[in-house]
Structure 1
Amino acid sequence: MSKNSKEEKIAETKEVTKTKEPTTKSTLKMNYKVFAALLFVGGMAIGLLAGMLLTPNSTSASSTQNSNTNNFIQSILNLGSASTQSMNSQEAGDKAIDFITTNLLGPGISAELVSIEELNGGSLYKLELNISDGSSSQVAESYITSDGEYIFPQGIPTGEFAALKKAAEEEQNKQQEQEMEAIPKTEKPEVKLFIMAYCPYGLQAMKAAVPVYELLDGKADMTINFVSYAMHGKKELDENLRIYCIQEEQKEVFLNYMACFTESDDYKSCLDETNVDKTKLDSCIARVDGEYNVTNMYNDKSTWASGRFPMFYVEKEDNEAYGVQGSPTMVINGKIVSVSRSPEAYKEAICSAFTTPPAECNETLSNNPASPGFGGGTGTASTGGCAN
């Protein structure tokens, strides 16, 4: 893969997440190597759980996902060569220390058993471990099953986890309500969804938007629009032109085409299936391409954004007016709005922009976010995007 291709891939999937962890004086004084060891041992269970909660579902990955989930319910790490007999506390502690020291800790870091407690009628042991590099140390908790088959680097209090999850969802809902309250109200809202045709998150947004656009057709002025540069090569420029022209000149088949394309990634079949007038489409594409120099700028790399991404200036003025930076970006009545990428969330956002919402706004659509990329299914309420 070329350097430019790697940079494009990095830019495409760029998504910044900021996490704040509480700090204490004892933590700050702790030797770095010991702290790193604790993060590794204590954080592994959280990391595995978070990975399964946050990874979008897909048809191809569903069986693996279910298997991983079932395995997690049973255990975090398999110790191997397990005995069918229950071990006493000393044997369990020795086995846990040996496994952690051998597999989880780096050179110069040791683990020492401080105490061990029997839980759940003897089926589980809770251990207190002293993690040390010789000059500083810290106590950590771990768990091991009584047969020695599985070790849990850290316990996750289910009640606390559920409470935190609920609080996060409530905060997200509150932020979305505030977003919608700030949208200016009009009799016929203007909705613009800026995307790149092959951006996975742009496709996710389009799949969520199509049923809303169908529901509110004629009630709001809703369009698919385009970011002023492309990150997925010439095919993206071509598809941007194709979508633009079908929407511009053949609106009666536009939403059907979008539903087909985002599902199949096969524009040729979709043109046939949705009865697009290809002669009319080709004429429009040639005209718009010439007017905005799409192909000419693609062939002149000196015009590319950051020297890597070809420009698509068909809607440059709107990009500049609304401050569009990447795909997807939803603009309602001139305001950028960020909500969950589900049909229902998009419907609620648009309906909040009506001075007097129409009856269609009372209809409930799917609350499940669409999956990123092509295909059906549901994913997560992703905030990912494609941006330079």
Structure 2
Amino acid sequence: MDEHHEHHAEKQSPLGIPLPVLLTVVALLCLVIGFFASSLMRPPTQPSGGATPTPSIDALQLQSKVATYLTDMLASQGAQGVVVQGTSTSVENGMYAVNVSIIQDGQVVQKATTYVSLDGKNLFIGQILDLTTPFPKPTPVPTVAIPKTAKPEAQMFVMSFCPYGQQAEVGVGPAQEALGDSITVEPHFVIYGKDYYAGAEEQYCIANTSLCSLHGVNEANEDGRQACIWKYQQPKWWKYVAYVNENCTVDDIETCWKTAANATGVNATAVEQCFAEEGVALLEADAALNGEMEVTGSPTLFINGVIYSGGRAAEDFKDAFCSAFTKQPAACNMTLSEAQEAASGSCG
């Protein structure tokens, strides 16, 4: 599936914002304010004749000044345990280029280059682009053919409240129903470790575990309940999930799930018992499978071991599943609804 991550890959601040993004956003705000406030933020101009001026500021002092300023700026935005350190300074394009490392809890989480005017007064954060050099053409990603088998197997990794994962479920469900027992489609859940949420475990992680989810602990709990329904009440799983996707939110799921269970014939008492006794183990197994199959985002769909990267309408999924048969069943000749927008995107 096309990749457009909602967010997550990088180390995050206690605000839930990746530190490099936080740094860039705050810096851009500072630049915009400065632009309208005074002429102090005017970018330096190249000297006549193209000669590079001799630096007149002590490099170590400049590194320290930049690092202290950025550290204080991050702290003012709520970042905790974050320190910016200057690593080197040079002169580029008529400005000082100061390389910095962003450190959280003693670990470097991002490196960046900042620019300072030659008078040492103005700080610029961003990348200098050479307008005379065209961007290189992207290298096409080779398409991997899905191997054919008598009974294809698919693994669908989602987060229960990732909108893109729910979109995939809306498409995969009818395709799986049309093909019936001729194909196996197993749902799994995208789980993150508690290291991503240091200091905010109560908000994102199941208590006393390292099982966390991008949209909060309510989502992690619902992932566990859905894993239980798949294990013990599998024929009702797709209808239950469709009801949850249509009627529940991550904020009300702790009560709404029982309404969904009643509406779709799921035994809620059995789900509660399974969740209490096996929920953690089921999600730990999925977390291990995430690592084994290198899954980091929702949705991720494997068909016979190959990642699917096509559209998300039911017809798209049906065609992909049918391409994996050595001998296609008659259901492959059916046409499913194509009304669903085959959008791209993922959480994680």
What is the TM-score of this pair, normalised by structure 2? 0.51
Secondary structure at 1:365 match in 2: coil
Secondary structure at 2:147 match in 1: coil
**Higher Cα radius of gyration:** 1
Q: How far is the alpha carbon of 1:6 from its aligned partner?
A: 4.3
Fraction of identical pairs, as percent: 36
Match of 1:239?
A: 222
**Which of 213, 217, 231 is the equivalent residue of 1:248?**
231
**Which of 343, 361, 366 is the equivalent residue of 2:337?**
366
Q: How far is the alpha carbon of 1:218 from its aligned partner?
A: 0.6
Match of 2:258?
A: 268
Amino acid of the structure 2 residue aligned with 1:212: A
Secondary structure at 1:263 match in 2: helix
Secondary structure at 2:149 match in 1: coil
Amino acid of the structure 1 residue aligned with 2:177: E
Amino acid of the structure 2 residue aligned with 1:330: L
For residues 310-321 of structure 1, the aligned pairs below 5 Å read 312-321=283-292
**Which of 125, 128, 153 is the equivalent residue of 1:190?**
153
* 1:285 equivalenced with 2:295 (yes/no): no
For residues 151-162 of structure 1, the aligned pairs below 5 Å read none
Structure 1 residues 10-36: Cα deviation after superposition (integer angstroms, max 9, x where no partner):
99xxxxxxxxxxxxxxxxxxxx9xxxx
Counterpart-to-counterpart distance in 2, 1:203 and 1:237: 15
Structure 1 residues 296-347: Cα deviation after superposition (integer angstroms, max 9, x where no partner):
xxxxxxxxxxxxxxxx533133222322121000001111111111100011
Amino acid of the structure 1 residue aligned with 2:167: Q
Counterpart-to-counterpart distance in 1, 2:223 and 2:294: 20
For residues 55-134 of structure 1, the aligned pairs below 5 Å read none
Q: How far is the alpha carbon of 1:290 from its aligned partner?
A: 4.5
Counterpart-to-counterpart distance in 2, 1:280 and 1:290: 16
Amino acid of the structure 1 residue aligned with 2:294: G
Compared with structure 1, are the counterparts of its residues 205 and 290 closer, same or farther at alpha carbon in structure 2 (3 Å cutoff)? closer
2:227 and 2:279 in contact (8 A); partners too: no
**Which of 291, 297, 301 is the equivalent residue of 1:330?**
301
Amino acid of the structure 2 residue aligned with 1:383: S
Match of 1:259?
A: 242
* 1:209 equivalenced with 2:172 (yes/no): yes
Secondary structure at 1:223 match in 2: strand
Aligned length: 192
1:214 and 1:255 in contact (8 A); partners too: no
1:227 and 1:319 in contact (8 A); partners too: yes
Structure 1 residues 340-362: Cα deviation after superposition (integer angstroms, max 9, x where no partner):
11100011111111111111111
Q: Which blocks of at least 5 consecutive residues in structure 2 are unaligned?
A: 1-11, 22-42, 44-139, 193-212, 249-255
Structure 1 residues 165-197: Cα deviation after superposition (integer angstroms, max 9, x where no partner):
xxxxxxxxx99xx85x70011111111110011
1:210 and 1:258 in contact (8 A); partners too: no
Secondary structure at 1:331 match in 2: strand
Secondary structure at 1:225 match in 2: strand
Counterpart-to-counterpart distance in 1, 2:330 and 2:320: 15
Compared with structure 1, are the counterparts of its residues 277 and 383 closer, same or farther at alpha carbon in structure 2 (3 Å cutoff)? same
Q: How far is the alpha carbon of 1:3 from its aligned partner?
A: 5.6
Amino acid of the structure 1 residue aligned with 2:14: N
Secondary structure at 1:186 match in 2: coil
What is the TM-score of this pair, normalised by structure 1? 0.46
1:322 and 1:335 in contact (8 A); partners too: no
Counterpart-to-counterpart distance in 1, 2:299 and 2:178: 21
Greater Cα offset, 314-323 or 243-252: 314-323
Counterpart-to-counterpart distance in 2, 1:5 and 1:343: 37
Secondary structure at 2:302 match in 1: strand
For residues 301-312 of structure 1, the aligned pairs below 5 Å read 312=283
Amino acid of the structure 1 residue aligned with 2:259: S
Amino acid of the structure 2 residue aligned with 1:188: K
Match of 2:201?
A: none
Counterpart-to-counterpart distance in 2, 1:353 and 1:5: 44
Match of 2:328?
A: 357
Counterpart-to-counterpart distance in 1, 2:217 and 2:159: 12
Q: How far is the alpha carbon of 1:257 from its aligned partner?
A: 0.7
**Which of 298, 306, 318 is the equivalent residue of 1:347?**
318
2:225 and 2:279 in contact (8 A); partners too: no
Counterpart-to-counterpart distance in 1, 2:16 and 2:215: 12
Counterpart-to-counterpart distance in 2, 1:357 and 1:318: 29
Secondary structure at 2:186 match in 1: strand
Compared with structure 1, are the counterparts of its residues 341 and 290 closer, same or farther at alpha carbon in structure 2 (3 Å cutoff)? closer
Compared with structure 1, are the counterparts of its residues 209 and 5 closer, same or farther at alpha carbon in structure 2 (3 Å cutoff)? farther
Higher helix share: 1
Secondary structure at 2:295 match in 1: coil
* 1:199 equivalenced with 2:162 (yes/no): yes
